[in-house]
């Protein structure tokens, strides 16, 4: 009977499922010995995935946009290039478990790094080039990156940070001139092209324990130091299997996926490994991320699928209105990282026949959590009611709603609380190289506390109301800043709107709306407030308004409410009181 | 450095991949310590899957055909029924690791057993009702089944075997009258309906180690005792994820899957767990497996997907020719378990607009190995050339072709040898409860030797030439019995044809064709041989022919060549020599 308590890992905990799983008593008295299966203990390995992609899926391609054309590499060539990179990295002293950073746009070379580094047993750390300088240096030091691969066009930026990176010993400059980087003592600079040209195109990629590290990403939260998440071979492969399933993105070899979301954001949304698994072709936009170049690229390469945050799609939509273009080659466009205004979803659908696919996830969840496919058989507004939610959870992202007092609420589509999730591609902790725990209160008995506030329907659809720190607590009731933003952004004169809670003597907090008007448009606060009257209760209507030139954004393009709150506190906003 | 040799499990072995993975040297000198990920060690659990299916997928249904209508159960009801069954089984003494047998048709109650038994940590052993009596008793004793759930209509058959089943203590009779079964001393008989009615509809399904047993199947080989394969929670879930992926069957909640393949054949082709994972609806045909009833069922329920062995589809095709019916509601029909004659594939496509999807697998492979989707962009005959192969391998079914001398051959679409496979849902051994090894020569350094002879193209398509024991060795050259059979079955006068090798003094072996003529058709051996002349080399053409009433079949409906060879050896065949 020894060891049984660890063999049976856990019951279902106190899930709020009324019918089946109510109590939490131990399994059975006099329980018998477990029986082991005869199945192979074959590890889920990114080395095995690379081997597959570069042979049986060897004809699939990754292409990098050059501004007026593409550089294309087959997955077969990617396999050979990965072997060259792995040989080169081994030559620089990189072994199993060592961290290799990238400081790159989305391009062929970045995809090769995503493929090769974990396949050789090392750990890919894609550095977010848009982090604030002190954060960027912090994460490179915290992760103990040994080698960093840098795009030539990013060398000037990287050169500012390099002197403060304490563990970096080698820098490899891709797509540019290595001579332009002046390195501190003890750091060697290499040309990617020259370094790889000297290497053999074969490598014995090892199959390591599937729980070992394959990659790292740091959250770019607006408070405190960035926190590291360490993905495993297992988590990346299970996540990729979910991405390609019909309830995820349903990628197949018939797809060509435009990866606008940077590979340094939240595991690159798992695009690289999902493409290798499915044989989907990949298009990398490199540094051409403005709406005009993206539309030019789409016109030429006709992707069937694209992935980016809402701000990118907002820009594309504005550009399309100025200069119409057929984008119906896109069978679907996945949008995540922030809530999508329903008005944007309708505009893409009605004017361009393109279905935005809303998804929810976090760096901590690899990132794919829920995806908003409407239930089968629904059409029109009935379908739209589901498509504007954050989506439906798959089997292996368990989800629950928890009240302030820690009690689990029912998934009845009504009860609102903090979303907690659990599953094999969800982090159990933040990376703590020196031992100890980082931010342990983000975890609740094996569940990740997401910091998102919302509700779940009986059939598994998530609707987020707000971030727990952004929700406005007015007179003991909650007002969703996100709901207000979405409604206000539906007004034709409004380009962007961000809502924060500001202190109020009577109500504790009241909403303040910071509005960016559309180019050439005019609107008064009273008019905008009037526009909201049929959508909200009277007590929820904002009484403080400010017109600003731009909503401050975080390094990943989300509204930075911390900076907006600071601007308000510093008296920098010109507030209209109604 | 301690433990590292087990941490790095294996290199790629001696794969025949020319470009990348050639040598087999150890990974690196002075290799550093592995880095563990921060991901949750959440187990892949059929209990978690059941919880998901019965809540977030609770509106999906399983329906059993009653001959003129259906009994339908939602997945929500299935969850409650599973809890009742688990409570009942616990009451009968079943705990983690104990085997629960089923002796059932495909119906709602069988699906509940598939869901509940592994979810409670016990092991489902679906007994093949068509096994020969001594084999059936052998497998029940070998697996040590404690409880067997039996369909009422199968009680008379089961009653013959029960007295010889040494470990069975309880029999539960579903869909029938328990009083009709007279049990030996020490065996209690229960009514499924009465037993479950007394149970609560909640149960604390435990999450067990994902490598522990979830189910068992025995191979029904034509030689020796049946051999047991023990599936795990992990293997069943990874397999289900592959089944629902676009390169597998691509099930989604939009599908209604007609599960003709018996749940006791090869893990029921993974249909149950794939449906629970995807939310696809399931239709169970119960005992109504003849072409007429199946077509009646299809006419009424309009499945989008169906799965069965070729002999079933041959019968359906013949029935359709006699009595045409629109079956275009089927978006795809998966066929496996034996090679599909291309003529059948064309008939379904050309006359009924239904795409047969050819797949390869074995009891030992859970069973899904390869699936014959044509590469994207190919149409007509170009696509058909791929669709008649055994299909393309997914990433986690590694495959190689091995020569008689044990050397690995290239995947060049030409080299022919024995297929070996490896992966997380492929068995590493046969079940040996008393220790020791069963048939160890079926395993080759971690790979399963499939006993199938074939070739693999560079893009991963498998073409099987024959079973290794059925291939005909004539004058030092190989003749594929399957190729001959497929060609002969393309003749309009031929209903079935089975080819075996018979001893020959000069050539060692020569092919003998056993032909079953289509009803009312006539044909001479010489005419059939003439029909083959433009398809085979002259030395491959069969010179021995026999006309028989029926090809003997195994318990799973495959051609039983052992019995055919015995008939020939016993002089029972009336052989025409050309």
Q: Which of A1, A35, A211, A397 to mutate to test the interface with B (most CBs of B within 10 A)?
A: A35
- Looking at A191, A215, A234, which one is the last position of a domain? A234
- The CA radius of gyration of chain B, in Å to the nearest whole number, is 24
Q: Tell me: the pLDDT tens digits for B239-298?
A: 999 999 999 999 999 999 999 999 999 999 999 999 999 999 999 999 999 999 999 999
Q: Is A158 on the interface with B (CB under 8 A)?
A: no
Q: By mean pLDDT, which of A222-236, A376-390, B117-131, B390-404 is the weakest?
A: A222-236
Cβ separation A11–B205 shorter than 8 A: yes
Which of A21, A58, A247 faces B459 most closely, judged by CB atoms? A58
Q: Does the pLDDT value for residue B156 go beyond 90?
A: yes
Burial class (CB in 10 A: 0-12, 13-18, 19+), A83: buried
Q: Is A91 on the interface with B (CB under 8 A)?
A: no
Q: Which of A31, A38, A124, A367 to mutate to test the interface with B (most CBs of B within 10 A)?
A: A38
CB-CB neighbors (< 8 A) of B253 in chain A: 247, 375-376
Q: By mean pLDDT, which of A62-66, A381-385, B129-133, B159-163 is the weakest?
A: B129-133
In chain B, residues 254-293 whose CB comes closer than 8 Å to chain A: 254, 276-279
Cβ-based neighbours of A52, under 8 Å, separated by 6 or more: A276, A277, B394, B395, B396, B398
Q: Is A223 on the interface with B (CB under 8 A)?
A: no
* Residue A352 forms part of a structural domain: no
What are phi and psi for residue B242, nearest 5 degrees?
-70, -40
Q: What does the alpha-carbon distance between residue A567 and residue B100 come to, in Å, rounded to a whole number? A: 67
Of the pLDDT bands very low, low, confident and very high (cuts 50, 70, 90), residue A161 is very high
* Residue B6 forms part of a structural domain: no
Q: Per the confidence metrics, is the pTM higher than 0.90? A: no
Q: Is B378 on the interface with A (CB under 8 A)?
A: no
Residues of B forming the active site: 219, 364, 473, 478
Q: What does the alpha-carbon distance between residue B116 and residue B569 come to, in Å, rounded to a whole number? A: 48
Q: Are residues B341 and B248 in the same domain?
A: yes
Residue A351 annotated in active site: no
Which of B21, B95, B208 faces A202 most closely, judged by CB atoms? B21
Q: Are residues B365 and B484 in the same domain?
A: no
Mean of per-residue pLDDT scores for chain B: 90
Cβ separation B393–A56 shorter than 8 A: yes
Over residues A378-391, the mean pLDDT reads 95
Q: Does the pLDDT value for residue B527 go beyond 60?
A: yes
* Residue B429 forms part of a structural domain: no
What is the pLDDT at residue A509? Answer: 86
In chain B, residues 452-471 whose CB comes closer than 8 Å to chain A: 458-460
Q: Are residues B290 and B148 in the same domain?
A: yes
What is the pLDDT at residue B92? Answer: 98
* Residue A370 forms part of a structural domain: no
Over residues A145-154, the mean pLDDT reads 98
Q: Return the ∠ at Cα A415 (arms to A409 and A418), rounded to 5°.
A: 65
Q: What does the alpha-carbon distance between residue B417 and residue B447 come to, in Å, rounded to a whole number? A: 14
Kindly give the interhelix angle for B342-352 and B310-322, rounded to the nearest 10 degrees.
40
Q: Are residues B227 and B91 in the same domain?
A: yes
- Looking at B361, B392, B423, which one is the last position of a domain? B392
**β-pairing verdict for A417-422 and A408-409:** unpaired
Q: Is A408 on the interface with B (CB under 8 A)?
A: no
Q: Is B357 on the interface with A (CB under 8 A)?
A: no
Q: Number of A:B CB contacts under 8 A?
A: 372
Which of A99, A204, A214 faces B25 most closely, judged by CB atoms? A204
Q: Quote the tokens at residue A365.
A: 């969840």
Q: Which of B37, B332, B408 to mutate to test the interface with A (most CBs of A within 10 A)?
A: B37
**β-pairing verdict for A368-371 and A170-174:** unpaired
What are phi and psi for residue B102, nearest 5 degrees?
-125, 145
Q: Quote the tokens at residue A508.
A: 């504790």
Q: What does the alpha-carbon distance between residue A379 and residue A383 come to, in Å, rounded to a whole number? A: 5
Compute the nearest-CA separation of B28 from chain A (Å): 7
CB-CB neighbors (< 8 A) of B79 in chain A: 19-20
Q: Does the pLDDT value for residue B7 go beyond 70?
A: no
What is the pLDDT at residue B222? Answer: 57
Contact between A259 and A271 under an 8 Å Cβ cutoff? The reply is: yes
Of the pLDDT bands very low, low, confident and very high (cuts 50, 70, 90), residue A497 is very high
- A108-117, A536-545, B5-14: which is most confident: A108-117
What Cα–Cα distance (Å) separates residue B468 from each residue in A345, B177, B196, B473, B494? 57, 46, 48, 10, 25
Candidates A364, A418, A420, A496; catalytic one: A364
Which of B12, B48, B231 faces A204 most closely, judged by CB atoms? B12
Q: What does the alpha-carbon distance between residue A472 and residue A340 come to, in Å, rounded to a whole number? A: 20
Over residues A295-299, the mean pLDDT reads 97
Compute the nearest-CA separation of A17 from chain B (Å): 8
Contact between B72 and B63 under an 8 Å Cβ cutoff? The reply is: yes
Residue A447 annotated in active site: no
Q: Does the pLDDT value for residue B8 go beyond 90?
A: no
Cβ separation B40–A426 shorter than 8 A: yes
Q: Does the pLDDT value for residue B554 go beyond 90?
A: no
- Looking at B336, B369, B392, which one is the last position of a domain? B392
Which of A20, A49, A211 faces B202 most closely, judged by CB atoms? A20
What is the pLDDT at residue A6? Answer: 28
What is the pLDDT at residue B221? Answer: 61
Residue B133, classed as helix, strand or coil, is helix
| A553: containing domain | 470-577
* Residue A334 forms part of a structural domain: no
What is the pLDDT at residue A546? Answer: 95
Cβ separation A39–B398 shorter than 8 A: no
Q: Tell me: the pLDDT tens digits for A476-491?
A: 677 888 889 989 999 9
What is the pLDDT at residue B9? Answer: 30
What is the pLDDT at residue A2? Answer: 27
Which of A34, A213, A252 faces B209 most closely, judged by CB atoms? A34
Of the pLDDT bands very low, low, confident and very high (cuts 50, 70, 90), residue B356 is very high
Cβ separation B38–A211 shorter than 8 A: no
| CATH value at residue A549 | 3.30.300.30
Burial class (CB in 10 A: 0-12, 13-18, 19+), B198: exposed
What is the pLDDT at residue B13? Answer: 32
Q: What does the alpha-carbon distance between residue B344 and residue B312 come to, in Å, rounded to a whole number? A: 11
Q: What are the beta bridge partners of residue B443?
A: B448
Over residues B458-464, the mean pLDDT reads 96
Compute the nearest-CA separation of A453 from chain B (Å): 19
CB-CB neighbors (< 8 A) of A425 in chain B: 39
Of the pLDDT bands very low, low, confident and very high (cuts 50, 70, 90), residue A306 is very high
Q: What does the alpha-carbon distance between residue B372 and residue B392 come to, in Å, rounded to a whole number? A: 6
Cβ separation B95–A54 shorter than 8 A: no
Q: Does the pLDDT value for residue A17 go beyond 80?
A: no
Which of B23, B32, B51 faces A96 most closely, judged by CB atoms? B32
Of the pLDDT bands very low, low, confident and very high (cuts 50, 70, 90), residue B18 is very low
What is the pLDDT at residue A222? Answer: 57
In chain A, residues 525-564 whose CB comes closer than 8 Å to chain B: none
What is the pLDDT at residue B337? Answer: 79
Q: Are residues B167 and B253 in the same domain?
A: yes
What is the pLDDT at residue B33? Answer: 57
Which of A57, A95, A428 faces B40 most closely, judged by CB atoms? A428
* Residue A242 forms part of a structural domain: no
Cβ separation B235–A37 shorter than 8 A: yes
Q: Is B363 on the interface with A (CB under 8 A)?
A: no
Cβ separation A396–B228 shorter than 8 A: no
What is the pLDDT at residue A465? Answer: 86
Of the pLDDT bands very low, low, confident and very high (cuts 50, 70, 90), residue B223 is low
In chain B, residues 320-349 whose CB comes closer than 8 Å to chain A: none
* Residue A357 forms part of a structural domain: no
Residue A450 annotated in active site: no
Compute the nearest-CA separation of A461 from chain B (Å): 8
* Residue A538 forms part of a structural domain: yes
CB-CB neighbors (< 8 A) of A33 in chain B: 96-97
| CATH value at residue B129 | 3.40.50.12780
CB-CB neighbors (< 8 A) of B38 in chain A: 228-230, 427-431
Q: Kindly state the DSSP code that residue A494 receives in the 8-state scheme.
A: E
Which of A22, A426, A460 faces B56 most closely, judged by CB atoms? A460
Over residues A252-264, the mean pLDDT reads 97
CB-CB neighbors (< 8 A) of A36 in chain B: 211-213, 230, 232
Q: Tell me: the pLDDT tens digits for A19-30?
A: 222 222 333 444
In chain B, residues 18-57 whose CB comes closer than 8 Å to chain A: 19-28, 30-44, 47-49, 51-57
Q: Which of B21, B31, B35 to mutate to test the interface with A (most CBs of A within 10 A)?
A: B35
CB-CB neighbors (< 8 A) of B250 in chain A: 246, 250
Over residues A422-450, the mean pLDDT reads 94
- How many independent structural domains does chain A possess? 2
Q: Are residues B365 and B504 in the same domain?
A: no
Which uninterrupted H or E stretch holds B124?
A: strand B123-126
């Amino acid at each position: 009977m020894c060891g049984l308590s660890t063999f049976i890992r856990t019951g279902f905990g106190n899930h709020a499922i009324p019918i089946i799983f109510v109590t939490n008593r131990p399994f059975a008295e006099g329980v018998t010995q477990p029986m082991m299966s005869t199945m192979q203990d074959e590890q889920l390995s990114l080395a095995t995935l690379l081997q597959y992609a570069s042979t049986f899926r060897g004809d699939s391609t990754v292409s990098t946009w050059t501004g007026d054309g593409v550089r294309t590499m087959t997955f077969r060539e990617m396999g050979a290039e990965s072997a060259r990179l792995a040989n080169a990295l081994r030559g620089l002293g990189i072994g199993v478990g060592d961290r290799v950073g990238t400081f790159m746009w989305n391009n062929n070379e970045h995809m090769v790094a995503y493929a090769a580094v974990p396949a050789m047993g090392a750990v890919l750390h894609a550095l977010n080039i848009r982090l604030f300088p002190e954060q960027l240096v912090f994460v490179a030091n915290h992760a103990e990156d040994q080698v960093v691969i840098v795009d030539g066009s990013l060398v000037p930026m990287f050169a500012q940070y390099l002197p403060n990176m304490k563990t970096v010993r080698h820098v490899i400059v891709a797509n540019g001139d290595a001579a332009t980087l002046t390195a501190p003592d003890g750091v060697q600079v290499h040309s990617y092209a020259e370094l790889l040209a000297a290497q053999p195109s074969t490598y014995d990629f090892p199959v390591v324990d599937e729980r070992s590290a394959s990659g790292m990403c740091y959250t770019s939260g607006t408070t405190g130091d960035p926190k590291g998440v360490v993905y495993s071979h297992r988590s990346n492969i299970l996540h990729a299997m979910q991405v390609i399933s019909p309830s995820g993105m349903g990628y197949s070899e018939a797809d060509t996926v435009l990866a606008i979301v940077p590979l340094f954001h939240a595991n690159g949304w798992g695009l690289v490994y999902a493409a290798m698994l499915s044989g989907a072709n990949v298009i990398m936009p490199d540094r051409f991320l403005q709406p005009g170049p993206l539309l030019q690229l789409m016109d030429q390469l006709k992707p069937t699928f694209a992935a980016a945050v809402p701000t990118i799609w907002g820009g594309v939509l504005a550009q399309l209105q100025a200069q119409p273009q057929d984008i119906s080659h896109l069978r679907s466009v996945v949008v995540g990282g922030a809530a999508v205004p329903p008005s944007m979803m309708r505009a893409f659908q009605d004017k361009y026949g393109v279905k935005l696919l809303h998804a929810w996830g976090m760096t901590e969840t690899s990132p794919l959590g829920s995806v908003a496919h409407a239930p089968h058989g629904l059409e029109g507004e009935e379908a739209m009611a589901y498509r504007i939610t954050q989506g439906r959870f798959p089997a292996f992202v368990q989800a629950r709603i928890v009240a302030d007092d820690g009690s689990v609420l029912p998934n009845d589509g009504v009860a609102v609380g903090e979303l907690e999730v659990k599953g094999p591609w969800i982090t159990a902790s933040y990376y703590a190289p020196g031992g100890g725990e980082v931010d342990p209160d983000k975890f609740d008995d094996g569940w990740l506390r997401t910091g998102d506030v919302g509700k779940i329907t009986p059939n598994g659809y998530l609707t987020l109301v707000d971030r727990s720190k952004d929700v406005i607590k007015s007179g003991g009731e909650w007002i969703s800043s996100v709901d207000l933003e979405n409604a206000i952004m539906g007004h034709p004169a409004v380009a962007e709107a961000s809502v924060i809670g500001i202190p109020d003597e009577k109500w504790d907090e009241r909403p303040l709306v910071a509005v960016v008007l559309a180019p050439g448009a005019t609107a008064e606060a009273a008019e905008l407030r009037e526009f909201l009257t049929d959508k909200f209760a009277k007590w929820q209507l904002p009484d403080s308004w400010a017109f600003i030139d731009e909503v401050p954004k975080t390094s990943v393009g989300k509204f930075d409410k911390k900076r907006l709150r600071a601007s308000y506190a510093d008296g920098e906003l010109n507030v209209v009181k109604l």
